[in-house]
């Protein structure tokens, strides 16, 4: 009787890895930022993106992601001024334009790059968790 050939493990989809990266970034942001960066609320913490998550070049960039309450996160699309002012105070007057330029770069994060980024973000999360103990 021939030996059974072990099944090859199916590679994870990019969307599965992307979902894990989103969760990691969200955890990091909520640990790093004590309150909503635009209004100071500690309620309904979310990971707000200055530049939309649709742009992969800045989707996981921690300088693009900050803690926001649900109301401020929703309001950002209609009124970007409060979040823009925070970004300018935190990173410099020109930084919103820098993030926008980064977002519009044509960039593809391949599986290996996403996995490498995941490993880096796990280290960042572990540091924050240790600091917050």
- Tell me how far the alpha carbon of residue 118 is from its chain's centroid: 11
- Comparing C-alpha atoms, which of 115, 110, 14, 26 is closest to residue 66? 26
> Which pLDDT tens digit goes with each residue over 70-88?
999 999 989 999 999 999 9
Model confidence at 2, pLDDT cuts 50, 70, 90, reads low
How many Å is the Cα radius of gyration of the chain? 18
The yes-or-no verdict on residue 1 having pLDDT over 60 is: no
Q: Are 128 and 32 in contact (CB under 8 A)?
A: yes
Model confidence at 4, pLDDT cuts 50, 70, 90, reads low
Query: Residue ranges per domain, the chain?
Result: 19-120
Question: How far is 105 from 115, CA to CA, in rounded Å?
Answer: 21
Model confidence at 5, pLDDT cuts 50, 70, 90, reads low
* Mean pLDDT across 91-116: 93
- pTM exceeds 0.75, yes or no: yes
pLDDT score, position 133: 77
Count of C-beta atoms within a 10 Å radius of residue 91: 15
């Amino acid at each position: 009787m021939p030996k059974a050939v072990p099944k090859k493990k199916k590679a994870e989809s990019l969307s599965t890895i992307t979902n894990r990266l989103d969760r990691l970034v969200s955890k990091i942001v909520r640990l790093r930022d004590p309150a909503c960066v635009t209004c100071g609320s500690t309620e309904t913490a979310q990971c707000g993106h200055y530049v939309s998550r649709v742009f992969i070049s800045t989707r996981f960039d921690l300088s693009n992601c900050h803690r926001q309450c649900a109301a401020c996160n929703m309001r950002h699309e209609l009124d970007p001024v409060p979040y823009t002012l925070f970004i300018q105070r935190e990173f410099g007057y020109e930084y919103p334009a820098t993030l926008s330029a980064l977002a519009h770069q044509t960039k593809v994060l391949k599986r290996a790059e996403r996995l490498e980024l995941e490993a880096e973000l796990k280290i960042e999360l572990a540091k924050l968790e240790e600091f917050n103990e």
